Amino acid sequence: MSDTPTSHTPAGDLPLAGRKPEDMPGHWLLARLGKRVLRPGGRALTEQLLDDARLAGAQVVELAPGLGKTAVSILGRSPAGYIGVEADPAAVSLTAQAVGSRGRVVEGDAAATGLDDASADAVIGEAMLTMQSDRAKAAIVAEAHRVLRAGGRYAIHELALNPDTLGDDEKTEIRKSLARSIKVNARPLTEQEWRKLFTDNGFTIEKVAFAPMALLEPRRVIADEGVPRTLRFVANVVRNPKARKRILGMRATFSKYRDNLAAIELVAVKDAA
């Protein structure tokens, strides 16, 4: 992704910047330390997702755009229009800076956007459904269905559990470990469960793809951030012992469950009425 105005945003301007490192949600801690690509499958899976969503000439809605990195990539694909829906006021400001006059960003709930029925051709969401309860996941997918025109695409980049045959106790253990590590109540689903979430809400699955969940692995960090920004990120981690402890803890959790965690791309099409 190309650099955006958010690339040099002071840490004090980030959401939850006043929180202590030991208490912050993992994704905002990483952002505070200078990491800008916060998706489980990295920049490569995001770019693939946006290509598969066919955004040229489309009216695009992005749910929970966060720092605005994906918004810039969306706009680089010549959509007819862009609207970001973000619940966090500070993140609204960050994405608005990245988007400028090429779209608009509104403060709102992904499950109740306030957008018109059948007003979008594509809805994009990354690393946000995973953080929702089962009920909230369904509400957000139903809202995307309402906002999309028939034939519109809902494309997500989220965290998945592998394999589909994982038992309930194993799923619970992984989810609890993730929640303790990243300070967010993460509830990733298996591929089968992700598929069912969408088909139960009026979508047909068009594509599913996977990438390794390697968010904090050195090769992935360099690929996502580039060498200069990676060096700044590492230096920030080294200088902050409490943040370093959190980062190492998150990385240890990801490594422990590497065989059961993956990034998933799913593109679903709204069925005709």
Q: Using one digit for the tens of pLDDT, what is the confidence trace for 87-114?
A: 989 889 989 999 999 999 999 999 999 9
**Collapsing DSSP states into helix, strand and coil, what is residue 27?**
helix
Element of type H or E holding 107: strand 104-107
Q: What is the pLDDT of residue 23?
A: 75
Q: In this structure, what is the dihedral angle of CA atoms 129, 201, 153, 42, given to the nearest 10 degrees?
A: 20
User: Are 249 and 127 within 8 A, CB to CB?
Assistant: no
User: Are 204 and 269 within 8 A, CB to CB?
Assistant: yes
Residue 174 inside a domain? The answer is yes
| 151 φψ region: left (φ > 0), alpha (ψ -120 to 50), beta (else) | left
Q: What is the pLDDT of residue 259?
A: 95
Residue 122 inside a domain? The answer is yes
Residue 54 inside a domain? The answer is yes
Residue 195 inside a domain? The answer is yes
Element of type H or E holding 74: helix 69-75
The confidence band for 7, taking pLDDT boundaries of 50, 70 and 90, is very low
**Token pair belonging to 63:** 């749910």
The model's pTM is: 0.88
Look at residue 219 and tell me whether its pLDDT is greater than 90.
yes
Question: In the chain, what percentage of residues exceed pLDDT 90?
Answer: 82
- CATH number, residue 187: 3.40.50.150
Residue 28 inside a domain? The answer is no
Residue 112 inside a domain? The answer is yes
Residue among 160, 16, 179, 169 at smallest CA distance from 88: 16
pLDDT per residue over 250-269, tens digit each? 999 999 999 999 999 999 99
96: which DSSP letter?
Answer: H
**Structural domain containing residue 194:** 36-225+256-270
The confidence band for 19, taking pLDDT boundaries of 50, 70 and 90, is low
Residue 26 inside a domain? The answer is no
Q: What is the pLDDT of residue 67?
A: 82
> In the chain, how many domains are there?
1
pLDDT per residue over 160-185, tens digit each? 999 999 999 999 999 999 999 998 88
**Token pair belonging to 230:** 């990676």
Residue 3 inside a domain? The answer is no
